[in-house]
Amino acid sequence: MVFFLSVMCILTGVSMASTIPFIDKEWELWKLMYGKSYPNLEEDQARRGIWLDNLEKIDAHNAQYLQGNTMYEMTMNQFGDLTPMEFANLYTDARISEMVNYTDDALFGFEMEELEEMEEINDLPQEVDWRKMHYVGKIKDQGMCLSCYAFTAVGALEGQLAKKKKQLIELSVQNIIDCSDEYRNFGCRGGLPYHAFQYIRDHGIESEQSYPYQAKKNDKCSFNNSKSVIKIKGFRRIKNYSEKQLAAVIRRVGPLSVLICSAHDSWRFYKSGILDNADCNNKKIDHAVLLIGYVDEHPTGYWIIKNSWGTSWGERGYIRLVKGKNMCKITHCASYPII
């Protein structure tokens, strides 16, 4: 018995020793892939520990995926060296939950349009995907700037403009970041899509070409009215609809700006498949994305969402959320511009 235990200890030691160089190699490759560097060895090793913890969580989840116990796969990505709290602070905006409850007409002195009519929810098509109509722009990366609200507002407006003019024109996210402070947006510290719509209603918006994205807030707003592409007439906000009603709206209108919960590992490390995780529903609203369609198929329907975390995240920048469960609180608040 003593001999057997000794052999087992030796074999275990060999296994661990052989694993460490492999992990070290993977760590170095990951840093190279995402351009990561740290000021000293101590910080490097601390980040390696966080990365390894995340990798173990991803591997454990994917083992369940391979056994058919879950419908989505996770992967290591650019967020791998962050703790859950660090990720939430850097890439999500916890204030959205509180901000969305503000009374906008009192703040801005005009009545916000609310969608009151009942949407037709019968005979909906099995699939709506506005990418197929070329109403959806390319995937962007917001970087270290909490500008999701501006990306989704611009995305919804690009869709409406493409629908009207039959041409997709990229509009300026940076314009919103730099210039909409008086509408209770906060540059790279967060905001709300329909606050961006209010700014565009009053001032207009430039193209991405004339006012390109910088992933930071500049000290001065550089909006040039002569380069404005469009002013909108107003916007509509849709709160707490059923999922069938939301599907009816997206079929009739086009891409919608929606608020969801994202400070969860299922979102952070999402790779592919249909995300169905009840824990996502227990989080606060903290992120804004563009809802571009849905698919109702047996046995699992899903929503199609465009994110602003670059093409290396998710399904080339997109994510599919299971339908029928209000996953990640997708029906909480949607909005779109009127042109």
What six digits make up the tokens of 16?
């661990």
The answer to whether 332 and 289 are in contact (CB under 8 A) is: no
Tokens 């989840």 locate to 61
Catalytic residue among 145, 148, 188, 261: 148
Tokens 């997109």 locate to 318
Q: Is 218 a catalytic residue?
A: no
Catalytic residue among 280, 287, 328, 332: 287
Of 274, 270, 265, 264, the closest CA to residue 307 belongs to 270
The answer to whether 171 and 130 are in contact (CB under 8 A) is: no
Q: Is 287 a catalytic residue?
A: yes
Of 231, 176, 192, 174, the closest CA to residue 107 belongs to 192
What six digits make up the tokens of 147?
């500008």
Q: Is 89 a catalytic residue?
A: no
Catalytic residue among 307, 328, 332, 333: 307
**Measured distance CA(112)–CA(81) in Å, rounded:** 42
HSE (CB half, 13 Å, CA atoms) of 200?
A: 34
Cis preceding linkage at 299, omega within 30? yes
**Measured distance CA(320)–CA(134) in Å, rounded:** 19
Q: How far is CA 84 from CA 13, 57, 60, 81, 87, in A?
A: 32, 12, 17, 10, 5
Of 278, 271, 276, 264, the closest CA to residue 317 belongs to 271
**Helix or strand (DSSP H, E) at 194:** helix 193-203
**Measured distance CA(153)–CA(255) in Å, rounded:** 10
The answer to whether 206 and 175 are in contact (CB under 8 A) is: yes
User: Any idea which residues carry the catalytic annotation?
Assistant: 148, 287, 307
